[in-house]
Structure 1
Amino acid sequence: MRLSCLSLFVISSFVNAQPPLNSESQLETVNTQYTARVLQEVTELQDIPAVAHEPVLTDEPNSPIHDPATAEDAAQPVVSLPTANYDLMLIGGGLATCSSMSAASCVENTTFNELAKTANRYLLHPSTIQLLANAEIFSEARRDLQPQLVSLFSALQQKTPQPISEQQLIALWRAETESESSPQSGETLWQALSERELNAVLDYLEVPTLSTDGKYRLTEQVDLAHTADTESAMLYRQFVQLAAEKAVTKGRTQPKILIVTASSRDPFAAVDFYVDVFRQAGADAQWLPLTAAMQRALSEKNCDALPQYLAQLHGSYRREQIYADLFANKQQLCNKGSQAIVALMADADGIFFNGGDQSLTYLALRQQDGLATPELLALVESIKQKRLIVGGTSAGTAVMSGNQFTPEAALPIPMITNGDSYHALQYGAKAAMPPWPGCRTEARCPEQMSERQLTFTAAGGLGLFPLGILDTHFAERGRQARLLVLQQATQTPLGFGIDEATALLVDLGFKQEGQLEEQIQGETASQTEGQLERIVQLAATGAGEVYISALQPDASATQLLAQTYSLTTGDTAYFQQGTLTLIPAADKTPLTNTASPLQSKSPLFSRDHYRSLSHSLCHSNFAAATISEPPYLIRVSKDAPCLQAANGKLTTTQRLRISTE
């Protein structure tokens, strides 16, 4: 593929740059440990309230903005790139898919058969209530809640002799008034529980969802053809198509895809959904039950203790009773050992990681000391051999950050694990384990951290995406400031934010067997495989945008500054010799001399308010917008005319500055 350089935007080199380390000793210690891990792995491979006031928009007349399509740029040479052979498909989450448990995502009149699971089922019965009474899920300081809940559910059981849905259970629970047997109202007890405690209570009251004759476990069924959000359905099909390209090299037409649900608190709950969705998209799909619990069982050679590890690491209880068939599969594979898991992964054409908590997926593929497990090493080797595409959504994307397998990298690429933009701006970033949901309610947040504290793993996640920090649900949750704060704190030059129902496709530039020799023949005799320059190619696809944040040299803790780029479907990029070059789609044209009103909503880093302002700025005749949200002054400015496709999707080049007033 030959590309003209007429419309290129260049981000400065960063691979060999050596920005100063964060002065905190904690980061220095972590980075030292990281270096040791990199060497070993390479050897083995060879709470902030909403801002109440309205934003202030600074009216600045339109000024000349650099247009990349100038004579100077036109003089640049034509770039020749190989056809992309993607290794990663990184989705920003929010895939709204029609299923028997998500009818709202279906087109009208979609139906499922009698074996379709439509909801989890719960039973208020002496047996389940007794299980809850004996459970160890409350801290010593909060243990008085347990007998109160037992009394409440005992009083409710006469009203609900049959299994009910979660929605029905919670409605009955919250409507229950005080009584002699239950001195606390249902609403009071409901409000008193943290998210962690509530999940545990529901686990103990849950019962298997079976067919009317009790012979079959009902499963969540998907209808990809009747999914209302066509972009979400397209992304599943695109992943299968990319996996099929890997399958062809192995002599088969139907790709084998493994689904890893390690990011979930309950890793069994989404198995049926993902297996069905990928089968409907055309794959031979299978669940790979690799989780943090299984990795702990493998390391301690104790697969019989899987229920305990699920409780300890995932906060998930009684799954061996609710999903007996799936649990049996998990335990059987655990007993076969790591070699059996590696063999399954080596034969796969695609592996897909679900959303949830990226820290759980990290624990599924890294040892307790952070070293890569045999499964992660096998994953990296298959990618290097171009035998596998790895996909992820939400947490399954965020966990890919890191450059542990890139020995020439100057600094580690961190993995973001928690936080929102306003907590990040006020409290900064901490290299620490993320607080669990509800820790504030339990008065047990670690190190006096807020539940929304921005936290990160300094040495990175799985290390498959080495260009920068990955963030997801990006525009929809206003995470632009969160990403920039972490970039500044860790001196990470690039950050990538991916919107919902949107994907970043990545070709890491490795050569398939036979191709490397052809490339070497075209180089000088003194060059070797390790010296040949890899070209990493990127592409945006899906409904929303891929946002790239390039930290600027004059940025500081009191004035965050980034050059930003938003790519949409059809836009591509490549990374070579320390430079990332962005190439807008050929059908996009500049937006010039537009005069739409400039509009903004506050708080800016909430919901999709920032993206809305960015788009409004594109369609206005203003060069910049300045928004005051004390103590912060936020300025978004154009660096080039926005480009627009016929379908309205934009490509933007802007600058974001956040300073303390």
Structure 2
Amino acid sequence: MTSEHQSGTLIIIGGAEDKEQDCRVLREFVRHAGGVKARIAVLTAATTMPGEVADEYIEVFHRLGAEDVRIVHTESARDTEDADNIATIEQSTGIFFTGGDQQRLVDMLADTPLHKAVRQQYASGSTIAGTSAGAAMMPDMMIVEGDAQTHPRPEIVKMGPGLAFLPDVIIDQHFAQRGRLGRLLAALVIEPSVLGLGIDENTAVVVESDEFSVIGSGAVTVVDETASTHNNLDQLLKDEALAVFGIALHILPEGYRFNLKQRQPIAPDG
């Protein structure tokens, strides 16, 4: 796993980030996007309440010092080709995907001129952030939906294509709060040889080159299935329980890092 072809930063947020007090996670996004000189584009494709959600992020980003905050609404396919929307992306130093429904987001944006403009900005060094559904869509394969608070079974998770900003991982959000370990494990067995990141609420991973660091009040659960010695997926009927041997699991609170290429956690003094 490597991100050598990318030169920007990803900030992937587990949802329910603080917007009223210290705003630790959103503050880090604004800082990476250029601080008071940041030019931020907020994409509302995932939500059915784009106006309300946009107003909330405009207020918090202005409060944190970013003077140039623009909204890109995509209510139809024509909006993904609109010259003004694409220009907003091309002029941005930070692009923020709101929460909502990750399948709605991908259906609207995948392989459109707007998606290509976002990818180009990332390759040129801009910071791309997403929360909740905006986090789930970051990999090339994403969790579309699935049952929480249950043991892993093939039926509890549905997978689909994401927008491929961070290949070779699977991301699950609201992780500890909604008890999603079972569905992440099921997803990793269905999509083998990828790394699972379970990101708690008000918590984010900041991905730069081949490493990510953890910020926020929760933790990131890293599940590595690549060295697994056994699973029973090919023997199961739809509603039967998965067995998995030899999975590596790491819990990383704020200050800890992880090397994606070497698949190794790094302590603060490491």
Scaled by the length of structure 2, what TM-score is found?
0.87
* Matched AA of 2:32: L
Percent same amino acid among aligned pairs?
28
Find out whether 1:420 has 2:121 as its counterpart: no
Q: How does 1:207-218 map to 2 (within 5 A)?
A: none
Q: How does 1:257-276 map to 2 (within 5 A)?
A: 257-276=40-59
Of residues 31, 56, 64 in structure 2, which corresponds to 1:241? 31
CA positional deviation for 1:573: 2.3
Separation (CA, whole Å) in 1 of partners of 2:230 and 2:47? 37
Q: Is this contact kept in 1: 2:8–2:123, CA < 8 A? A: no
SS in 2 for 1:391: strand
Q: Is this contact kept in 2: 1:86–1:505, CA < 8 A? A: no
The aligned residue for residue 354 of structure 1 is 98
SS in 2 for 1:477: coil
The aligned residue for residue 174 of structure 2 is 473
* Matched AA of 2:112: T
SS in 2 for 1:268: helix
CA positional deviation for 1:261: 1.6
Separation (CA, whole Å) in 2 of partners of 1:423 and 1:568? 24
Of residues 56, 60, 64 in structure 2, which corresponds to 1:281? 64
Higher relative contact order (CA 8 A, sep 6+): 2
Which stretches of structure 1, 4 residues or longer, exceed 4 Å deviation after superposition? none
- Could you report, residue by residue, the CA deviation over 1:190-226 in whole angstroms, capped at 9, with x for unpaired residues? xxxxxxxxxxxxxxxxxxxxxxxxxxxxxxxxxxxxx
The aligned residue for residue 503 of structure 1 is 204
* Matched AA of 1:539: S
- Could you report, residue by residue, the CA deviation over 1:403-422 in whole angstroms, capped at 9, with x for unpaired residues? xxxxxxxxxxx210111245
The aligned residue for residue 197 of structure 1 is none
Q: Is this contact kept in 2: 1:394–1:472, CA < 8 A? A: yes
* Matched AA of 2:13: I
Separation (CA, whole Å) in 2 of partners of 1:545 and 1:376? 30
Unaligned ranges ≥5, structure 2: 234-241
Unaligned ranges ≥5, structure 1: 1-13, 16-45, 47-84, 99-226, 246-252, 299-333, 367-371, 403-413, 430-452, 510-535, 588-661
The aligned residue for residue 541 of structure 1 is 215
| Structure (1 or 2) with the greater strand fraction | 2
Q: Is this contact kept in 2: 1:262–1:360, CA < 8 A? A: yes
Q: How does 1:326-365 map to 2 (within 5 A)?
A: 334=79, 337-365=81-109
Of residues 76, 83, 96 in structure 2, which corresponds to 1:294? 76
Distance 1:352 1:485, change over 3 A: same
The aligned residue for residue 239 of structure 2 is none
* Matched AA of 1:581: Q
Q: How does 1:49-64 map to 2 (within 5 A)?
A: none
SS in 1 for 2:265: strand
Separation (CA, whole Å) in 1 of partners of 2:101 and 2:64? 26
SS in 1 for 2:144: strand
Of residues 114, 118, 124 in structure 2, which corresponds to 1:375? 114
CA RMSD of aligned residues (A): 2.2
Distance 1:570 1:287, change over 3 A: same
Q: Give aligned pairs, total.
A: 255
Q: Is this contact kept in 2: 1:545–1:566, CA < 8 A? A: yes
Of residues 474, 478, 487 in structure 1, which corresponds to 2:188? 487
Separation (CA, whole Å) in 2 of partners of 1:287 and 1:400? 20
* Matched AA of 2:120: E
| Structure (1 or 2) with the greater helix fraction | 1
Q: Is this contact kept in 2: 1:467–1:494, CA < 8 A? A: yes
